[in-house]
Amino acid sequence: MAGAIGDASVRTKFKEWMAKFGRIYTDAAEEERRFQIFKNNYEYIESVNRAGNRSYTLGLNNFADMTDDEFQENQDSCLDPSPPNSESMIGSFRYANVTDVPEFVDWISNHAVTRCEDAGNCASCWAFAAAAAIEGINAIKTGLLAPVSAQQLVDCDVASHGCNGGGLDRAFFFLLVNGGIAAALNYSYTGRQGECRGGVPPVATIRSYEAVPPNNESALKQAVANQPVSIGVCTRNPEDIKWYSGGLFKGPCGTCQNHAMTVIGYGTYDSSDPSSKYWMLKNSWGEHWGVNGFMFIQREAGPPEGLCGLAKSPIYPVK
């Protein structure tokens, strides 16, 4: 009887989740199949949180009725695994000699970060991660925080693959060739690749882009002290990043560089605890994931490439 009550409780949760995220299934059989997936995910999340042995918590989000394979197909393979071609960068690492590096930076508070968007079923994290860095440097240099169009990158950057993934360096190169990027308001996100629209005036421009020296979190800190920086991260093995809902993520995770985010700050939770240093990341999985779409991940965790490979190939635009 206890098991039946438990199932009923989870089914109530599932109905509430369906209403919250607007899920409607084709028939009763599909709904039941999705419920079983939801139940497995929910039980995993609850078991982790009950154990209380992690520095972060997990929570239900818009992925809760998806299998791991579906998640990886739709959300988790959006960054071209090839690292940015540093030889094609225009200019060297301009922050190499910066010594005045504060111990806390938050580009949200400094009005250089827009709200987190949801890429949907389009593997366009590369476009959103590049857009966030462009928005950041544009706001820092002009005082204008204007959301820019990830959709224009999806539709028009022919060197990338639209909703099948792309590259951060290619996104920045597109801006140079195109003469800038449109405002999101004028070229809105659809979640699918369409025909490239011409004649949309740019709201932001850049004059070059540069790479942070790879596998160097000190250099990444120098860069992020001056502007948001686009990065590749590994969101696989295990699945906790998918369910992350708050706290300091300390892994474990790999270094596969399958997903793109943007570093928009850093700091330390407790100055007496070196393991509490963090990077603050902006994601493109919507505001129901993480902390309103943002993530805190351990900084200087040990490996030179950073936790989840975040320091392997950072890149930023120059204005």
Q: Among the options 61, 178, 258, 283, which is catalytic? A: 283
- Which is it for strands 229-233 and 244-249: parallel, antiparallel or unpaired? unpaired
Yes or no: say if 195 and 101 are a contact pair by the CB < 8 Å rule. no
Q: Among the options 125, 156, 163, 256, which is catalytic? A: 125
125 belongs to the catalytic site: yes
283 belongs to the catalytic site: yes
Cα–Cα distances in angstroms (integers) from residue 2 to residues 32, 47, 48, in the given order: 20, 17, 21
Q: Among the options 62, 156, 178, 259, which is catalytic? A: 259
Q: What is the CA radius of gyration of the chain?
A: 20
Q: Catalytic positions, please?
A: 125, 259, 283
